[in-house]
Chains A and B, each alone.
Chain A
Amino acid sequence: ELKVEQNPLFLSMQEGKNYTIYCNYSTTSDRLYWYRQDPGKSLESLFVLLSNGAVKQEGRLMASLDTKARLSTLHITAAVHDLSATYFCAVDSITQGGSEKLVFGKGTKLTVNP
């Protein structure tokens, strides 16, 4: 059974600093997704990483995927308060019978302090 682990689960950082969130998964998959969730709100798609070595950037966020290491990172550059949210990674999972679903990590709650 596919397991997805994120760390850290809680991250408090100062504005202007850099940090990385890690997402490890237990079985082979070529697709990884990052989502953002603001408190009490829905999940918003940030990135889709489709192959080994894929890198995507938007604003202060950059995501990468290493399928051999089964690892994705979400790097935050020069954090600002607006980035405070919970970030989830999710991985494609082929279930018994060939059906497919996403398996989500527990999420990383990021708080950016002034």
Chain B
Amino acid sequence: DSGVTQTPKHLITATGQRVTLRCSPRSGDLSVYWYQQSLDQGLQFLIQYYNGEERAKGNILERFSAQQFPDLHSELNLSSLELGDSALYFCASSVGTSGSVGTQYFGPGTRLLVL
């Protein structure tokens, strides 16, 4: 158990819908990262937050957005869902000290299926 929690574990929805994925980092970790993992694209970095502020952006679609709240939990919002958005979405956290990403600890993931 990494100490990172994600909800829900599974999500089935229809095209065009909007969903919210939630992540709670390990106690003491200030950085939260979101990744998308699919069979054809591999592990893709989406976005990072550090202590409430966006710090790094990766291959995140405009239909996707995220935020980190004062209690450090984070939410990833996916809207206008398409079939191709079906994937495993991971959240990871790290201490986030300057100069190094440090070891990232991954949550169990949310498996999203868009029908």
A residues neighboring B (CB under 8 Å): 31, 33, 35, 41-45, 48, 88, 90, 92, 95, 99-104, 106-107
Judged by a CB distance under 8 angstroms, whether B107 is at the interface is: yes
| CA–CA, A88 and B35, complex, Å | 14
Given known contacts A31-B101, A99-B55, A106 and B33 CB-to-CB distance under 8 angstroms: no
**A42 and B108 contact, CB distance less than 8 A:** yes
Q: Is the interface of A mostly helix, strand, loop or mixed?
A: strand
CA distance A90 to B102 in the complex (A): 11
Is there contact, CB below 8 Å, between B103 and A45?
Answer: yes
Digitize B71-115: 1 where CB-to-A-CB distance is under 8 Å, 0 elsewhere. 000000000000000000010100000011101111111000000
Which residues of the partner chain B approach A107 to less than 8 Å between Cβ atoms?
42-43
Give the chain A neighbours of B56 by CB distance below 8 A: 95, 99-101
